[in-house]
Structure 1
Amino acid sequence: MFVKGRRSLRVTGEQDIIELVEQDEWMMDILRTAQSLELPDWMVCAGFVRSKIWDVLHGYTVRTPLGDVDVVYFDPGNVDESVEKELENRLLRMRPGIPWSVKNEARMHLKNNFPPYISTVDAISKFPESATALGLALNDRDQVVLAAPCGLEAVLNMELTPTPYFREVEERMDIFDRRIRQKNWKNTWPKVKVVR
């Protein structure tokens, strides 16, 4: 079974999500591998978290393939993109076959033409979709920590809604709409609805 030890496919809040992750050996291995880089203010985010929740809510027993596993961190002292590529290579040597993507959020505002971010969670809050604005890390006791700066309502209700940051500017909403078309999430998770 995809989720061992769960009696139902109900996911109603933060603690349920944390338990799902803690029971998933693959996800815990990914988190521990990312943690081993000892990056400042790091998280594994976006589809890594959302896909797990939506797979469970759809009753899938096989994990939906991920296009990438996003590892983000915040280091304003070294924003050289080549550092990110080296970190990806280190992760690939540790866990080959995982589609690692590493980004320093201290420089990503430039790529997105946004004001500077102040932390990893701040950057996650400015992702296009609320259901994707999620991150996971491990604390020093190897416990899962969940960041949901835009809340959990969208992901738990299987709704694709823009984050507040995207909703406030029409050009950003164009990016949101384009991502909805390109990603075609409803094809993978048919219960998902777009709520603009």
Structure 2
Amino acid sequence: MLGRLPLAEQLDAFRSVLCRNETLTEVLTGTATLDLPGWYVTAGCLFQTVWNEVTGRPPTEGIRDYDVFYFDDTDLSWEAEDTVIRKGQEVFAGLRAEVEIRNEARVHLWYEQKFNVPCPPFDSTESAIDRFAATTCCLGVRLDPDGQWRVYAPHGLSDVFNLVVRPNPVLAPREVYEAKSARWKGEWPQLTVLPWPADPPA
């Protein structure tokens, strides 16, 4: 199983699998042209591409959208973020998939209103990825200026390859984790969804 390979081999396998999703590779190369600070393609489009590979499905099946995070704390206005979003819409106009671009430096401004829990300001794109509702989601990939892949995977890749969804109770509330994991389980029934801990850390 891929989840039992040494880490270096898991990284090679991860990149190989992601390259089979041509939409994802287009998003990576397109985002690189936007020159966004600290950007990553992240979340579902990554681990769901792997799930599709492991379960023998087409690479893009079940993937709703492609998330792009960046971090720019020099201007926290919605207007500045919207300018970036509009540039992205131009870059991806011919892509048959939805690409969502978000400035993670602004998340604390709207998170509590949406999820009913306060969110401290992030200090990087990585710190935003660290706070996804499931550790399995904590992934980011980008292309460096020299074309090399940079992979951010603070919890490793074994759970992703082994189809394990593990809660990450550091920010998102329990109901967010349970709603997301139920939707994923409906799409990929082979998943093992671990329960939310009875006493999550403060």
Q: Same fold (TM over 0.5)?
A: yes
Where does residue 4 of structure 1 map in the other structure? none
Where does residue 59 of structure 1 map in the other structure? 56
- How much does 1:85 deviate? 2.7
Secondary structure of 1:165's match? coil
- How much does 1:156 deviate? 1.9
Map 1:105-184 → 2, pairs under 5 A? 105-112=104-111, 113-163=118-168, 165-166=170-171, 172-181=173-182, 184=183
Where does residue 5 of structure 1 map in the other structure? none
- How much does 1:149 deviate? 1.9
Where does residue 70 of structure 2 map in the other structure? 73
* Cα 1:189/1:65, change in 2 over 3 Å: closer
Where does residue 30 of structure 1 map in the other structure? 27
- How much does 1:47 deviate? 0.7
- Cα RMSD between the aligned structures? 2.1
One-letter amino acid of the counterpart of residue 34, structure 2: L
Secondary structure of 1:18's match? helix
* Cα 1:156/1:109, change in 2 over 3 Å: farther
* Cα 1:120/1:84, change in 2 over 3 Å: same
Residue 186 in structure 1 maps to residue 191 in structure 2:
no
* Cα 1:127/1:158, change in 2 over 3 Å: same
* Cα 1:150/1:109, change in 2 over 3 Å: farther
Percent pairwise identity: 26
Where does residue 88 of structure 2 map in the other structure? 91
Q: Answer yes or no: is the 8 Å Cα contact 2:23–2:97 preserved in 1.
A: no
> Quick one: distance in 2 between partners of 1:82 and 1:148?
31
Q: Answer yes or no: is the 8 Å Cα contact 2:135–2:155 preserved in 1.
A: yes
> Quick one: distance in 2 between partners of 1:47 and 1:157?
16
- How much does 1:20 deviate? 2.2
> Quick one: distance in 2 between partners of 1:175 and 1:62?
25
Task: After superposing the two structures, state which structure 1 stretch, 154-163 or 71-80, moved more.
Answer: 154-163
* Cα 1:157/1:164, change in 2 over 3 Å: farther
User: TM-score scaled to structure 2, two decimals?
Assistant: 0.80
Residue 40 in structure 1 maps to residue 41 in structure 2:
no
Q: Answer yes or no: is the 8 Å Cα contact 2:66–2:97 preserved in 1.
A: yes
* Cα 1:115/1:192, change in 2 over 3 Å: same
Q: Answer yes or no: is the 8 Å Cα contact 2:28–2:142 preserved in 1.
A: yes
5+ residue gaps, structure 2: 112-117, 196-202
User: TM-score scaled to structure 1, two decimals?
Assistant: 0.83
Secondary structure of 1:118's match? coil
Where does residue 102 of structure 2 map in the other structure? 103
Q: Answer yes or no: is the 8 Å Cα contact 1:44–1:69 preserved in 2.
A: yes
Secondary structure of 2:173's match? helix
